[in-house]
Structure 1
Amino acid sequence: KKDIEYLSLKNLTVELSNLVFLLEQQKLKGLILDYVDLKDNGDYSMEYNMRLNLEYIHFANVEMNFFRWRDFFKFADFGKIILEFDRLLLQENVLSYIGLLNSYKNVLYLEIKFCNLYILRDFHKILNKFKYLQTLKLNRYNDDRNSSLYMFEAIKNMNYLENLTINLPYRGVYNNSDYFFGMQNFKVLCLTGTNLTQEIPNIKIWGNYTLLRTYIINKAIIKVYDLIEILKIESLTKLSFLDCDIEPCFNYISVELSGIKIKSLDFTATNLDVLKNFDIFKEFARLETLHLSNCNLKSGWLTQTNQSCNLSLKILHYAANCFDRNDLNRMNNLEVLEELNLRDCKFYSCGFFELGNDCKFLGSLKYLDLLHVEINIEDLIFLKSFKNLKNLNLTLSDADFFTAKNLLFYLPINALSLKECNKKSIFENSYSRYLYEENINLNLNSLSSKSFILIRI
């Protein structure tokens, strides 16, 4: 075929000359190599054949001769580069090859996933060669105060940068230098802490961001008043705090919020107890996606959400929290809900079936996760009411399975967990036969003596 635009190779050993010949014949736009060993025949006259017109490369743990790496980056004209490493030696070698060139004027997108070790001390010198970047993503690395400071110096000179993913800076770095947080071009900003002792910058930076659309914080400490300031960014449409610790405020805070445009809100694995007195969630009137899984929320908490979300919320992840009738009544009014994750939820004095026939999302729900939730026959009967359900994850007791097998036939089961079973009974009872499925995948290695999961593949 001559119309292939992207080629992906994985877990292979390939002759470099063959790959170059193929790339010349196909005129590809993108090349993806994952654990590929590029063998070289030692013919260095092939240098000029490395003049490839690739726009995009994604290399994960690719082995290649030093001279070929040099030629590859010297002659190729990439616009987007993604590199992944799981070994320090390979990481240092490849980055040193990249550092040999003076500049990468045409590269607009650079993403590097390091091997969870300290980055090269001179890595900032490599970054200085990418002055025209619009997107920079650096993941899975550790740094110290000096490397962090030098890195921010390099980022300061990227005048076209709009999308940035990096580690949270050391306090000594951002307290002494506010130039980085004065950059107004950012549309996407993602900061990751290396541990839960790092705080997000508490200087008043938020007024500088007039274009910021997405703000993501991972594994960090945030104070309540800083959260309030973030919510005042008028351009913000996506906000995520993942595995964070929100510190309480012991002084009175005046919360004056209006016109919040956030459509996607994610507080996964973040404590929200300190927000219960601020009634912040009433301010989110345009939510389309809400992730509150693993927040250890008490029953009745869902009632804090804005009623205006009834006509906008399409995705709700609420796993590992507590539920009561008040939560059910609130959820019942979501009219366009398409995806609902209640995995590991505890229902108090109520059941899922109590949503009833008046449930507003009976016709819109497509994906439902009820794994490790207590399910009875009434719930199974009620599940048939979701006319457009395409994907269902479900947990049953061993006794329920035989009583409910005829009901299961009518449900679009993706994963079925059966409690209090042993591996021997799996084959004796032929569970896949009851489900009338030919593509059941059963992973025995993941089974315990009390449960197992059947997964559709």
Structure 2
Amino acid sequence: MEKNEKNEEEEADEEFEEDYEIKILHGYENNYYDISKPFFIYSKENLVNFEILDSILPMNTSKNEHKSGIIECRYQLSCFLRLTRDVTEVTNNLNIQQFKYILMTLKFLKAVENKNITKLLQVLIFNNFFYQKDYKLRNYNLHLIQILNSSFFTQIDFHLKKNIMSSFLNSLMIRYDFYDENLIIFKNSKELFDYSMFSEHIPYKNLMINNFDAFCSVENILRDSNVLIIFQILLKEINIKSLILNNFFRHLNPDENFAFLISKIEIFKAFTISNYKIPASPFFLFCLIVSINNNIEYLRLENISYCRLNLRGLLEGKKLKGLILSKIGLTENASLINESRNVYETIEYIDIQGVFLNHSIWHEIFQSTNSSKIILHFNNSDIEEIFINNLKKFEIQKNSVLYLEIKFNSNTLPRGFCNSLIHFKNLKTLKLDGYIIYEDTESLLYKAIYYMKELECLVLCQNCRNTKPYIFLLQNSKIDCLDIQSTSNNNDAIMIEFFRLHKSMTRISIKDAKVSSLCLKEIFKQKNLIHLCLDIDILPPQVDQESLTFKSKNIHNLDLCNNTLKYIEGVDILSKLYRVHTLRISKCNPPPGYLSKLNKKCNSYVKILTYEYGILDFDDLNRIGKLGNLLKLNLLGCKFSGCSFFDLVTSCKFFKSLKTINLLNSNIKMKDFQCMKRFKKLKRAVFSFTEFNLLTLKNSLASLQICKLKFHTMLEDSNYNEFCLYLNESNIYILRG
């Protein structure tokens, strides 16, 4: 294939913002092309592979026939393709145009996404923008800023931008990881990450700095103004607008000074401080909060110890859309009604969990807010009582509330609460959890739900079995998400009719319930289910399994518990799944070989597999081993029939992805544990040992990044105690079973 290239020097004075399109012309013949003297040869062994070029390779498989063509562009393409074959050819004197040419080559030829792109870009950035010894930016960094600020860079693919961010962080020796397009910066490779910090209620991707030491490293690096500018541009380009500071556990040195550069970055629209425990310096927390830019839309404070916060001071000068407070202490008499009432007028989302607020603060919040989303979790009966008893007094704009979620502290719902609920007529989502209800108030609750004609998602998880039927279900035509727990037999006929009327459900969860075979049939007829959770018993007569037809093939989450499986065992539900992400089968007593029926199309989709208290044979282990992107494997209480965990490892394809494993009560021997060192990203492990060999355990753990290990053994000897000491010295958190 010939390249029609324009001399780069002729392009030196041209503006790069032009459309430098790369064209591929097939069937182009050129007699002066000398195949015996190629300047660049592309093959599958290239360091960086390209989708466009890979698609051409099959055309030239025959030794006697070659397809000719031309790649037409306006710069020396072959020179830059050579860099994608061998990074040692990268020079340290690239200019701004040449760097753009490389990015354009990666873009238009569709570089295959893998770590080799990051490796190439890292060499480019390091060689051309950093001194090798002291890592200070050269003068060329202004060129890098110019590239990143150009309209050209905004047109680069997201994945290529993410690779540039990775290369930049690698050059700065910052440890990081990406999870679902969120960026996590950490200090130790053995750290655990709490992915639940990425809230679905905050509409931005996140930068999470996972501990105080990582925060200090980032602060030091950002003292270079050019690094700060580049970092900010890259965050913007990969659409990260939320900052999370997590796990701040440390005693501060009084001499330490912080400019709080990261929290001042103006692109952040959401700010979170979580798990803060620095007892010696409440002033540090005060300075950190004060440094937050006033343009933020969401403020979240969770699990803050040793400090009591002034709510008025937190909100002063900000026009928040969302306020999230969880397990924090507030100063008493923190009144906001005078100075900061306007703050509440902008709030659309309130989330308060385990925070003591007196009546006046509750009143001030709800009197001024126009919130459309309210989440309240009570872990204290006194706090719950204050809220419930005064709900009817709060001047909430109830018609504007679209999302209401309340988790109670196992208290009885009073009549007043149910009467107040009637006024939330425009709700689209109602979630009530952990409450106790009796017959005298049950009808009031159901009446309130009956009037919610816009309701789309209903979650009712109560702590005692109800007695009245769910008549309201038949009147709410828009519900496509239903999650109910502890329901009585007299709801069966209503649920049958409900599922017949609602053919487009996306989520169904029924727990601790008895339903008929007709109800189960209607559930299985649903075609659009994404989430299905069943923990049920079937009322007589028993279900005719041959009459069951499971139609939802695109389920992402499937959860079957207890007796459920015996009623649907003949359906072969696992073979009907195409793209399940989370699969949980718990205490169902499945037969050996059951898991082997999982559809092969799920191999790249399953991220979490829970298979508790089952019997696994060789076919099951072979099937599990083919789940190439598995992150979490839970085989709690499983027994191995004619095989062992070692047999799973021999056919495993998730060595590079697995991060959590639970093999408690699963008869694990030293031979099985020795295989763990092949799981390079394993961070959390739970085991039961039936035999104990100190040397084997040490050797297996030495090459792993495990940071939390829970184990159970009946042995108590000097070797066992030495093993515990080794774990402590290796910074591995121990949980003894």
Same structural fold, with TM-score higher than 0.5 when normalized by the shorter chain:
yes
Maintained 8 Å contact 2:327/2:353? yes
Residue type of the alignment partner of 2:341: M
1:421, CA displacement in angstroms? 3.0
Residue of structure 2 aligned with 1:108, choices 402, 406, 411: 402
Q: Return 397-406 or 154-163, whichever deviates more.
A: 397-406
Partners of 2:315 and 2:698 in 1: CA distance = 54
Maintained 8 Å contact 2:483/2:510? yes
TM-score (normalised: structure 2): 0.53
Aligned to 2:572: 279
Aligned to 1:220: 513
TM-score (normalised: structure 1): 0.82
Query: Residue deviations 1:222-276, cap 9 Å, x none?
Result: 334322211211121110124x334564364522344533221001344422322
1:428, CA displacement in angstroms? 4.6
Aligned to 1:231: 524
1:430, CA displacement in angstroms? 4.8
- Is 1:140 the counterpart of 2:434? The answer is yes
Q: Return 73-82 or 384-393, whichever deviates more.
A: 384-393
- Is 1:338 the counterpart of 2:631? The answer is yes
Partners of 1:246 and 1:209 in 2: CA distance = 21
1:388, CA displacement in angstroms? 4.6
Aligned to 2:292: 2
Specify whether residues 61 and 386 from structure 1 end up closer, same or farther in structure 2 by C-alpha distance, changes over 3 A only.
closer
Partners of 1:251 and 1:240 in 2: CA distance = 18
Aligned to 1:118: 412
Maintained 8 Å contact 1:225/1:249? no
1:417, CA displacement in angstroms? 1.3
- Is 1:324 the counterpart of 2:617? The answer is yes
SS at match of 1:164: strand
Aligned to 2:709: 415
Residue of structure 2 aligned with 1:350, choices 643, 659, 663: 643
Partners of 1:396 and 1:58 in 2: CA distance = 43
Specify whether residues 393 and 88 from structure 1 end up closer, same or farther in structure 2 by C-alpha distance, changes over 3 A only.
closer
Unaligned runs of 5+ in 1: 444-451
More helix by share: 2
Q: Return 406-415 or 61-70, whichever deviates more.
A: 61-70
Aligned residues: 434
Q: Name which structure has the greater RCO, CA cutoff 8 Å, separation 6+.
A: 1
Partners of 1:33 and 1:436 in 2: CA distance = 31
1:406, CA displacement in angstroms? 1.6
- Is 1:27 the counterpart of 2:319? The answer is yes
Aligned to 2:341: 50
1:352, CA displacement in angstroms? 0.9
Partners of 2:544 and 2:667 in 1: CA distance = 42
Aligned to 1:159: 453
Specify whether residues 156 and 416 from structure 1 end up closer, same or farther in structure 2 by C-alpha distance, changes over 3 A only.
closer
Maintained 8 Å contact 2:676/2:700? no
Partners of 1:63 and 1:416 in 2: CA distance = 34
Aligned to 1:189: 482
Maintained 8 Å contact 1:73/1:98? no
- Is 1:173 the counterpart of 2:469? The answer is yes
Specify whether residues 386 and 345 from structure 1 end up closer, same or farther in structure 2 by C-alpha distance, changes over 3 A only.
same
SS at match of 1:151: helix
Query: Residue deviations 1:350-392, cap 9 Å, x none?
Result: 1111135333444443432223322234323433344554443
SS at match of 1:40: coil
- Is 1:392 the counterpart of 2:717? The answer is no
Specify whether residues 310 and 418 from structure 1 end up closer, same or farther in structure 2 by C-alpha distance, changes over 3 A only.
same
Unaligned runs of 5+ in 2: 1-290
Residue of structure 1 aligned with 2:584, choices 291, 304, 316: 291
1:207, CA displacement in angstroms? 3.1
Specify whether residues 31 and 329 from structure 1 end up closer, same or farther in structure 2 by C-alpha distance, changes over 3 A only.
closer
Maintained 8 Å contact 2:681/2:705? no
C-alpha RMSD over aligned residues? 3.3
SS at match of 1:372: strand
Larger radius of gyration: 2
Specify whether residues 357 and 11 from structure 1 end up closer, same or farther in structure 2 by C-alpha distance, changes over 3 A only.
closer
Partners of 1:249 and 1:418 in 2: CA distance = 44
The sequence identity of aligned pairs, in percent, is: 29
1:6, CA displacement in angstroms? 0.9
1:13, CA displacement in angstroms? 8.1
Aligned to 1:74: 367
SS at match of 1:30: strand
Partners of 2:620 and 2:525 in 1: CA distance = 28
Specify whether residues 150 and 13 from structure 1 end up closer, same or farther in structure 2 by C-alpha distance, changes over 3 A only.
farther
- Is 1:131 the counterpart of 2:422? The answer is no
Residue type of the alignment partner of 1:126: S
1:293, CA displacement in angstroms? 2.3
SS at match of 2:602: helix
Query: Residue deviations 1:96-143, cap 9 Å, x none?
Result: 333123742332221111221220113222112222222211111121
Query: Residue deviations 1:324-361, cap 9 Å, x none?
Result: 22322333343443321112211122111113533344
